[in-house]
Amino acid sequence: ILNVEQSPQSLHVQEGDSTNFTCSFPSSNFYALHWYRWETAKSPEALFVMTLNGDEKKKGRISATLNTKEGYSYLYIKGSQPEDSATYLCARNTGNQFYFGTGTSLTVIP
Amino acid sequence: NAGVTQTPKFQVLKTGQSMTLQCAQDMNHEYMSWYRQDPGMGLRLIHYSVGAGITDQGEVPNGYNVSRSTTEDFPLRLLSAAPSQTSVYFCASSYVTGTGNYGYTFGSGTRLTVV
């Protein structure tokens, strides 16, 4: 099993705060790293797909970085809003198989 | 454009019963997969397919069968349901992901309870 680990498991922040969380993964046999946003009672939605060491992706107030050599990715949210409350999943792709972390549950308090 | 459609949304089975979870996509995605999601665990891959006629096992395939006769459909069969198969099941699809360059589109999930 090629473990993907996410930290912290859960996070509560005040509206307007910036925050970040971590996805760690084995650096061998790396193809791609995905981030998903999963709102309660909905399905996961793809945020970013990153493949190259040093990749940085941005969508609005959310951005992500990738370090394949040391096996980690950071997800940043700038100026958190209540609608950012969700579970953020990362997944490592090793070819045709994805291995998901257990997610970071973010709650933004108004 | 419906995306990925899963049916049913909820199902209760008795131990030993069989059933098929349906998954269909209309995006012409070659890659389709089934995951189960259990408390405290990440999404775990059950089976996947890289195209019609091709299927392969994922991380937790025991107790499940799949087939892929068309690009659009990827049903998951439970041959003899067990309480350990109580879970939420997600179907997901994407373009062929040999390099992992494409994100998944997920279905809305099927909540299965085996009593």
Q: What is the pLDDT of residues A9-56, one digit of tens each?
A: 999 999 999 999 999 999 887 888 999 999 988 999 999 999 999 999
Average pLDDT of span A80-98: 90
pLDDT of amino acid A76: 97
Average pLDDT of span B49-63: 93
Sign of CA dihedral A107, A74, A32, A46: positive
Q: Which of B45, B56, B98 sits opposite A98 (nearest CB)?
A: B45
Distance of CA B86 to the CA centre of its chain: 14
pLDDT of amino acid A2: 56
> Which residues from B are below 8 Å from A1, CB to CB?
59
Q: Residue A61 gets which letter from DSSP?
A: T
Q: Which of B44, B50, B106 sits opposite A44 (nearest CB)?
A: B106
Residue A15 has phi, psi (to 5 degrees) of: -55, 135
Q: Residue A70 gets which letter from DSSP?
A: T
Q: How close is the nearest chain B Cα to the Cα of A50, in Å?
A: 7
Q: Is it the case that residue B31 has pLDDT exceeding 60? A: yes
Q: Is it the case that residue A1 has pLDDT exceeding 60? A: no
pLDDT of amino acid B52: 93
Please, which residues have CB within 8 angstroms of residue A97's CB and are 6 or more apart in sequence?
Answer: B45, B48, B58, B59
**Inter-chain touch B104–A32, beta carbons under 8 Å:** no
